[in-house]
Chains A and B, each alone.
Chain A
Amino acid sequence: MPKQSRLLIVILVVVLSAVFWIYKSPPRLGLDLRGGAQLTLQAQTNPKQGIDKITPRIMETAKFVVEQRINGLGVSEASIQISGDDQLIVQLPGVSDPAQAERVLGNTAQLEFRKQKIGTESQLRAERQVLLDKQLKQQQLELAGNAEEIAKNKEDIQKSQNAIAELYATTGLTGDLLKDAVAQPLDAGQTNWQVALTFNDKGGELFAKITGELGGTGRSLGIFLDNELFSSPSVGPEFQGRGITGGTAVITGNFTLQQATDLSLQLRAGALPVPVKIVENRTVGATLGADSVQSSIIAGVSGLILVLVFMIVYYRLLGVVADIALIVYAIITFALFSLLGVTLTLPGIAGFILSIGIAVDANVLIFERTREELLAGKTLYKSVEAGFNRAWTSILDSNVTTLISCGALFWLGSGLVKGFAVTLGVGVIVSMFTAITCSHALLLAFISYPSLRQPSLYGVKTIGKVNNSSPTIDNSTGTIL
């Protein structure tokens, strides 16, 4: 069996297994294609608590907490990755508005139970009235929907809340001493909800001590979430001294089911080691993603057909060889995407379609060289061999420069850009391989059939019969004869 036939069989086997592989496990689609939300969270340093630098350990903890909170949302197949030194990338497939996730993730939810300071009873009443007024005003403003006034009033509310926080003293009973938090209906109609808390042993003891101090004094227990007073229950005189034992308590605050669930989730998931900020949000609706997939398939297929037709029209038989090599190229590259675990995004698909252009280029280079050799009167076999050999340095040099650009993109680019760099890079490497193996073996196999040796099939008038061993120079074209 001739060498090129063996090579062709190997290529056939590779292609068939590639097709099988694509069928069995198609490449994963990115969220821009299947719909979903991608949030980028950035960890912020917290000099107040002595955290001046974000360490990998902090990121691990933050990732764990974020995972917990996301799991609580019930999004299937959510993924969380650490990116760079201080960012987390959260992917939520199928979520078309991630507002709930953003609320739950963006909050540090520092829970603390505080004691009201002695002699502040009337002051607290007054401050709470001020706050209540402003909150009512806020509701009216939101109905009117004037963004500027709303922002101003929000600031006032913040000030008022800070003033209230001043009236309470810290106790050290914080969210990390909490074992569990669940949302519970407050009434039979289930319109009002509360959050029931269970403390661990240490938390239970502290809670008993605090409530014991406050019991019967008329001073309230302040439940603070992120420095905002959520609830300020008073402790009955029966608990004076001994306090509320058993390690359980409830937070009430006229919560809706949604609010109570969010709150319990934040509490349950524990506190983040550092505050995180959502710095990027890219959300694509599922139908929109499907539309993108469809339009890129149309673009890819029509691009490919145009190229295939052009090659046959211009290069005749050589074009057929190039087209087969091109299809082999497309199949192998696509199989590699799923084999390498490349996630296909929209720019990634563009990179792939573009790499078809590069794959063609290698063939064009070879064929132009082959044609030149034929015009110079060499035999078909010699021309093909010379075409491949001479084109090789050009192919290598030009592809290495493209790979340099891909490398720069991959190294420095963000998620979307990386996808493009990967598909283009993989495409360039595979195209070098298919051009020198597939096109070469096919062409050699073709020219072994006498019926495929007619000059017109190669776009020349005649084909040399013997190898001209003494080179002469044709000054009109400059090629060696």
Chain B
Amino acid sequence: MKLNVIKYGQIYLTASALAILVGLVAMVISWQTLGFPLRPAIDFTGGTRLSVELLCESGNAPSKTCGEPIDIGFVRAAIAEKGYGKATIQSLGQDGRGLSLQTGDLEVEERSQLQANLENILSKFGKIDVTKSQIQRVGPTIGNQLLTSGLLALILSFVGIAVYLGFRFQIDYAFFAIVALMHDVFITAGVFAILGLTMDVEVDSLFIVAMLTVIGFSVNDTVIIYDRIRENMKIWGEKSSFDDIVNLSVNQTLARSINTTLTTMLSLVAIFLFGGSTLKFFALALIIGFSAGAYSSIFNATILLASWRKRKTLTQQAI
């Protein structure tokens, strides 16, 4: 397989631009309906979340009694009747014997009361297993703190990477590597904006971690191709055009780019399938981000660099 990234450059860039545009539209819609570009979890907004599961009474697998599947509609109505109208309730687990309840920030007394209410309502279906329950409470100040520090970490690593690349390569390499990274971040955020609108998927602090990991990994791919371009420039610089060198370097590193992305994907798919609910969407964010990263490294970062260099040479010749 041989790619001519330069010849079909416009097509690859247009595809990226379209994908980003769709994501941006989703973010705008999300902004208008939710007030945020992505659906934020209580990590950022502050709030209390309780997850409970029904107890399986003693005995081995065949004989154990686990209570009935919970009728979420019934629980919603009963909770609303108790004055928690704003609470969102979702079913948890495959057999529907668990649920999560999310409200605004509650103090301990208020929460204990809510728990008592919930236990009371759920007694119709079975007893709550305390060892399988989960309480998350994030105060509004902490929520703000998590968001600011997360965004700051994102900006900081952008700057750190730009400085390192500018130092190791040249300033235009660094610039287009960052452009490629922006692409990956926007694509991933766009997909999650769509998921937030359609499936109520929320972004929490792990999502910011995922973004940072995507940046770290995706820049890997870009660096390796740039590294090859730099090396080929030393050998061919005087005889070949920059376009040819870029094409050559992309193809030389293509097997590596694909194989590395593939092996990483294998680990991620394993986390996505078996890693439990906490890590599921974390793994998904990485899968999307890494795919976007591999794409932008092979196509966008190289195409943009080549066309910039071409324009620069032309301007210089004109002078």
Bound: A97/B270 CA distance, A: 32
> Would you call B149 and A412 a contact (CB within 8 A)?
yes
> Would you call B263 and A361 a contact (CB within 8 A)?
yes
> Would you call B135 and A404 a contact (CB within 8 A)?
no
Bound: A114/B278 CA distance, A: 52
Which residues of B sit under 8 angstroms from A98, Cβ to Cβ?
135
> Would you call B217 and A408 a contact (CB within 8 A)?
no
Known: A291-B276, A478-B232. A280 touches B131 (CB 8 A): no
Q: B252 an interface residue at 8 Å Cβ cutoff?
A: yes
Q: A218 an interface residue at 8 Å Cβ cutoff?
A: no
Bound: A357/B220 CA distance, A: 12
Which residues of A sit under 8 angstroms from B231, Cβ to Cβ?
390
> Separation in Å of the A266 CB from the closest CB of chain B?
14
> Separation in Å of the A409 CB from the closest CB of chain B?
5
Which residues of A sit under 8 angstroms from B139, Cβ to Cβ?
42, 277-280
Q: B157 an interface residue at 8 Å Cβ cutoff?
A: yes
Bound: A45/B149 CA distance, A: 22
Which residues of A sit under 8 angstroms from B130, Cβ to Cβ?
96-97, 285
CB-based closest 9 A-B pairs: A357-B264, A147-B83, A405-B216, A303-B270, A279-B139, A303-B267, A281-B137, A398-B220, A287-B131
- Closest residue of chain B to A296 (Cβ to Cβ) is B275
Candidates B135, B206, B216, B236; contact of A347 at CB < 8 Å:
B206
Candidates B153, B168, B276; contact of A296 at CB < 8 Å:
B276
> Would you call B213 and A405 a contact (CB within 8 A)?
yes
Interface residues of B in 224-257 (CB under 8 A from A): 224, 227-228, 231-232, 235-236, 248, 252-253, 255-256
Known: A303-B266, A394-B224, A400-B164. A346 touches B278 (CB 8 A): yes
- Closest residue of chain B to A417 (Cβ to Cβ) is B209
Stretch at the interface among A173-181, A348-356, A449-457: A348-356
> Would you call B263 and A354 a contact (CB within 8 A)?
no
> Would you call B260 and A146 a contact (CB within 8 A)?
no
**Most chain A Cβ neighbours within 10 Å, of B154, B206, B209:** B209
Sample of 20 more A-B contacts, CB < 8 Å, known A278-B137, A405-B213: A99-B112, A145-B117, A147-B83, A278-B139, A281-B136, A285-B130, A285-B134, A287-B131, A287-B132, A288-B131, A296-B271, A303-B269, A306-B266, A350-B271, A361-B256, A368-B259, A401-B161, A407-B157, A408-B212, A480-B235
Candidates B111, B276, B282; contact of A99 at CB < 8 Å:
B111
Q: B305 an interface residue at 8 Å Cβ cutoff?
A: no
Q: B122 an interface residue at 8 Å Cβ cutoff?
A: no
Chain B interface residue count, CB cutoff 8 Å, equals 86
Candidates B227, B232, B267; contact of A356 at CB < 8 Å:
B267
Q: B198 an interface residue at 8 Å Cβ cutoff?
A: no
Q: A336 an interface residue at 8 Å Cβ cutoff?
A: no
Which residues of B sit under 8 angstroms from A398, Cβ to Cβ?
219-221, 223-224, 227
- Closest residue of chain A to B217 (Cβ to Cβ) is A402
> Would you call B274 and A299 a contact (CB within 8 A)?
yes
> Would you call B235 and A147 a contact (CB within 8 A)?
no
Which residues of A sit under 8 angstroms from B152, Cβ to Cβ?
412
> Would you call A424 and B213 a contact (CB within 8 A)?
yes
- Closest residue of chain A to B103 (Cβ to Cβ) is A147
Across chains A and B, the number of contacting residue pairs, with CB separation under 8 Å, is 259
Chain A interface residue count, CB cutoff 8 Å, equals 88
Q: A283 an interface residue at 8 Å Cβ cutoff?
A: yes
Interface residues of A in 329-366 (CB under 8 A from B): 346-347, 350, 353-354, 356-358, 360-361, 364-365
Q: B84 an interface residue at 8 Å Cβ cutoff?
A: yes
Q: B156 an interface residue at 8 Å Cβ cutoff?
A: yes
Bound: A413/B279 CA distance, A: 18
Bound: A147/B86 CA distance, A: 11
> Would you call B224 and A353 a contact (CB within 8 A)?
no
Q: A286 an interface residue at 8 Å Cβ cutoff?
A: yes
Which residues of B sit under 8 angstroms from A368, Cβ to Cβ?
253, 255-256, 259
> Would you call A298 and B227 a contact (CB within 8 A)?
no
Q: B165 an interface residue at 8 Å Cβ cutoff?
A: yes
Interface residues of B in 149-172 (CB under 8 A from A): 149-150, 152-154, 156-157, 160-161, 164-165, 168
Q: A292 an interface residue at 8 Å Cβ cutoff?
A: yes
> Would you call B274 and A350 a contact (CB within 8 A)?
no
